[in-house]
Amino acid sequence: MTPGVPPTGPLWVILPTYNEAENLEMAVGAMLEALTAAAPAAHRVLIVDDASPDGTGALADGLAEAHPGVVEVLHHPAKHGLGRAYLAGFAHALDAGAGLLVEMDADLSHDPADLPRLVAAAGDADLVLGSRYVPGGQVLGWGPLRRALSRGGSRYAQAILGLDVHDLTGGFKCFRHEVLEAIDLPSVRSQGYGFQVEMTYRVVRAGFRVREVPIVFRDRRAGKSKMSWWIALEAVWRVPQIRVRDGR
């Protein structure tokens, strides 16, 4: 990819959900408003629901009916995890001709108003990260332990993988379609923090350009966090595996 060349195809936001009934309608509404500014010609929101027992899937179907051709829904028959939800969403959007693909949380921790900045930054980058850990970035509403776990996870992955990227565990990203088509998505196995680390590592190793844009991350407004000790531990043992598998 040549930096500065506009991507072809519409902008897709991939939105994985599991028990987000309290947040989804507000989140999608804010995203659609922001997408009108970021990509007024063509944009889509793809909700990938992981068999939520709280009715999120039915709510997503209602949003798709209210916004035909703009909001779509994929339903998993069982809970498969964050990584597989994103991979399914990426595959669907790429098959539909996506030019840019954004991943972000459905709980409004990632501010939809930041979408235009990430999309604009993709004009001279292949992957844009909404970064909490560059100057201007910030985390609000987390306690000391959660902050230490997230920041420490990024620093640990930086050291093991040798990456000059400050926020490796964040999940607010904008990919050009060429990137996702080049990095063998079916072979990605990580979940949670590990998924975010592995995706960025593969992008860097493939020679693509990564740019970090500062964001303010806010703790979820409603509902229960999906973070667990298992997700954190998976990242600890998965990160060295990522490097070994790559042969570096």
User: What is residue 1's predicted lDDT score, i.e. its pLDDT?
Assistant: 47
User: Is the confidence at residue 229, as pLDDT, over 60?
Assistant: no
Give mean pLDDT, residues 17-21.
96
pLDDT in tens, 139-193: 999 888 888 878 888 888 899 999 999 999 999 999 999 999 999 999 998 877 7
Task: Name the residue with higher pLDDT: 234 or 155.
Answer: 155
Kindly tell me if the per-residue pLDDT of 223 is higher than 70.
Answer: no
DSSP string of the chain, one letter each residue:
--TTPPPPS-EEEEEEESS-TTTHHHHHHHHHHHHHHH-SS-EEEEEEE---TTSHHHHHHHHHHHSTTTEEEEE-SS---HHHHHHHHHHHHHHTT-SEEEE--SSSSS-GGGHHHHHHHTTS-SEEEEESSSTT-EEES--HHHHHHHHHHHHHHHHHHT---S-SS---EEEEHHHHHHS-GGG----HHHHHHHHHHHHHHTT--EEEEE-EEE--SSS-----HHHHHHHHHHHHHHHHHHT-
Q: What is the pLDDT of residues 37-90, one digit of tens each?
A: 887 779 999 999 999 999 999 999 999 999 999 999 999 999 998 999 999 999
Domains of the chain: 11-246 (3.90.550.10)
